[in-house]
Amino acid sequence: MLIIISVIAIATTIIFGIVAIVYSLREEKAIKQLVDNELKQKQRLFEITMMKEIQDRIGYSLEIGKVVDVIVESLDALVSYSTVSSLVLQDNLLKFTVHVKDPVSKQYIETIKTAMFQSYLAIEANTMQLPEDENIMGAALDDLNHATPSSFFHVPLIVNDRVVSILTVASTKQNNFTEAEMTTLYKIAAQASEALSRLENILTLEEGKLMAMIGSLVDGLFMVDPNGQLTIINDAAKDFLGIPKDNPSTIDLLSALPNSYDFSNKIQRAINHKRVIEEKEVTLGEKIFQIFITPVFDVNVTTEKKVIGVSVLLHDITLEKSVAKMKEDFTNVMVHELRSPLTAIKASSELIINPPGPLTEEEKNKILTLIAGQARRMLDEVALILDAAKLEAGLFTIQKIPGDLKHLIAERAQIFQAAAHEKFINIIVDIDPSLPLFNFDPIHIGQVVNNLISNSLKFTSSGGTIKISAKPAIGSVIVAVSDTGAGIPKEKQHLLFTKFTQLSGADHGSVGTGLGLYIVKGVVEAHGGTVNLESEEGRGTTISFTLPIDNAKAVTAPTGQHPALISAAKPQRLTN
């Protein structure tokens, strides 16, 4: 009986023991599971916090140093370490920084630096130099401490296939870092790399758009950094300054600007005063510019305006200046043009009012004819100005009536024969007899023909020839006035049909309003035609125009006098 009781007791004890062991093991496993989970949660939280901090800190900047700083500053929450170091690629140079937590020796740091550099070269295999400078932060070094980096790991930061940084965490203790801790840091680095790569791609795309926009500007634009180094320049600026298209340097830029302009000083002023400097008129070569020197601020810094460079805009005002000068010249010419006939009218009328002696009827008529002629000349000039004003305001209108262009041209050529004869210039008229009758404004087309012949006379030397031709084309007629005159320089041809343009010619004594060809173009275009210029210096000029044949089939020449003869105004003095 005793034996049975003993056996039962032993069995019970064993069973309870086994149960206790099982429960104990289960509890231990559960605790381990809890610890593991807690660790995983902690690492995950660390990852998330770190990534948010990186995103917040970098914003839209690609400063790798900032990313490294975030990781370094938060590392304590993940692992214990002796030093954390970074090798950052900046401006094509590697910068080494170490944060010392335990007082290690200089030799310890050298070992880490060399290992990091070897890590970099093993990935990039380039000719980068080991950085000589060291930025050591944190605890003071202790050269008597002979501890070596017994455990360490490198975390490369790769952005768009380029190693931009190596981060190394090291400890004097053996096997100091767990796989989970290290893996967490690699994951953070991988996410940061991905975010930076994405950001870099976006910035590259935006930069491309910006560069395309800057490149397409008509104005010249370049940017220099606070040290005066050229960072961006568009093609227009290169053209204006006459500097090389490919990779122009700061020296190229500075040597293109005149010394008297004192560019460096102006840049400094814009940076120091943080305001735009405007130069109203600066002559560079043959051109005149308005220049704006504008400080460029760092958009990432919101607390205080930080100048990161200066943009310089070159606005070409050569044409505006030229037009302003033309207007000034025009005023002078108009005063001269109106003053001469007015003086003649005044003198002539005074002669009639207070004659020095009795005037015969013939003498009185002569004086009155002179007054009438001068008054007409003034009216012609004023009509010209009015037409130009109407053209500019878009109010110019033509009155088309059926007319005979053959007759009109022949008549106008005839008017200039006497003047041409005086200058020993031969006028040839070559009008195709098949030229049809059609609708046009005979007064204004008469002005056009007058103007072209008059200009040719002015610019053709004695012994030269002026040819006036007219021929039909498909749906239009072409009228051309050619001369063997001085020709027009290529660089001035584009100005020829603008207002107030006066070119110097063979007849140096002639002046004009400079409105003639401007009105020629306006009148022809009002008819739906075009004006064309062909000119070669020293060989002559041909100005031709087309007139669309309007309503040609319905037009029949009236009996008796041609409409052109009836409606065309008397020859007007249209000179340029």
Partner 1 sequence: MYQKLLNDAIHKQVTILGRHIVLMKVRNVLGLTISDDGTVLAISGKPEDVVTRFIEEFRELSSPLVKKTMQPLLSSLSPIQPSAVPENSGNQNISKSETQTNQKL
Q: What's the closest the beta carbon of residue 153 comes to partner 1, in angstroms? A: 4
The nearer residue to partner 1, 189 or 293, going by C-beta atoms, is 189
Strand partners, 430: 469
The nearer residue to partner 1, 166 or 452, going by C-beta atoms, is 166
The nearer residue to partner 1, 160 or 365, going by C-beta atoms, is 160
The nearer residue to partner 1, 156 or 529, going by C-beta atoms, is 156
Interatomic CA distance for residues 448 and 225, integer angstroms: 57
Interatomic CA distance for residues 397 and 444, integer angstroms: 10
Pairing assessment for the beta strands 426-431 and 465-473 based on DSSP bridges: parallel
Query: Taking Cα atoms as reference points, which of 513, 502, 503 lies closest to residue 333?
Result: 513
Q: What's the closest the beta carbon of residue 22 comes to partner 1, in angstroms? A: 29
Q: What's the closest the beta carbon of residue 33 comes to partner 1, in angstroms? A: 21
Q: What's the closest the beta carbon of residue 202 comes to partner 1, in angstroms? A: 18
Interatomic CA distance for residues 84 and 515, integer angstroms: 80
> Exposed, middle or buried, 103 (CB in 10 Å: 0-12/13-18/19+)?
middle
Interatomic CA distance for residues 102 and 25, integer angstroms: 39
Q: What's the closest the beta carbon of residue 164 comes to partner 1, in angstroms? A: 11
Q: Give me the amino acid identity at 313.
A: L
Residues 6+ apart with CB under 8 A from 214: 221, 232, 234
Q: What's the closest the beta carbon of residue 114 comes to partner 1, in angstroms? A: 11
Q: What's the closest the beta carbon of residue 179 comes to partner 1, in angstroms? A: 5
Interatomic CA distance for residues 275 and 295, integer angstroms: 6
The nearer residue to partner 1, 197 or 426, going by C-beta atoms, is 197
Q: What's the closest the beta carbon of residue 197 comes to partner 1, in angstroms? A: 8
- DSSP per position, 342-361: HHHHHHHHHHHHS-SSPPPH
The nearer residue to partner 1, 151 or 465, going by C-beta atoms, is 151
Alpha helices in 82-178 (DSSP H): 106-124
Q: Which helix (H) or strand (E) holds 44?
A: helix 2-58
Q: What's the closest the beta carbon of residue 310 comes to partner 1, in angstroms? A: 37
Interatomic CA distance for residues 382 and 515, integer angstroms: 11
Query: Taking Cα atoms as reference points, which of 258, 269, 293 lies closest to residue 279?
Result: 293
The nearer residue to partner 1, 108 or 545, going by C-beta atoms, is 108
The nearer residue to partner 1, 145 or 191, going by C-beta atoms, is 191
Query: Taking Cα atoms as reference points, which of 262, 289, 290, 295 lies closest to residue 276?
Result: 295
What's the gap between Cα 523 and its chain centre?
Answer: 35
DSSP state of 441: -
Long-range contacts of 90-95 (CB under 8 A, 24+ apart): 90/64, 90/65, 93/129, 93/131, 94/120, 94/128, 94/129, 94/130, 94/131, 95/65, 95/131, 95/133, 95/135
The nearer residue to partner 1, 190 or 506, going by C-beta atoms, is 190
Structure-token pair, residue 553? 């089939």
Q: What's the closest the beta carbon of residue 87 comes to partner 1, in angstroms? A: 13
The nearer residue to partner 1, 181 or 404, going by C-beta atoms, is 181
Q: What's the closest the beta carbon of residue 81 comes to partner 1, in angstroms? A: 13
513 contacts 333 by C-beta, under 8 angstroms: yes
Q: What's the closest the beta carbon of residue 161 comes to partner 1, in angstroms? A: 7
Structure-token pair, residue 88? 């950052």
The nearer residue to partner 1, 152 or 396, going by C-beta atoms, is 152
Neighbour tally for 174: CB within 10 Å: 7
The nearer residue to partner 1, 127 or 354, going by C-beta atoms, is 127
Interatomic CA distance for residues 309 and 300, integer angstroms: 14
Q: What's the closest the beta carbon of residue 32 comes to partner 1, in angstroms? A: 20
Enumerate binding residues for partner 1 (CB under 8 A). Answer: 115, 118-119, 122-123, 151-156, 158, 161, 163, 168, 175, 177, 179, 182-183, 186, 189-190, 193
The nearer residue to partner 1, 163 or 223, going by C-beta atoms, is 163
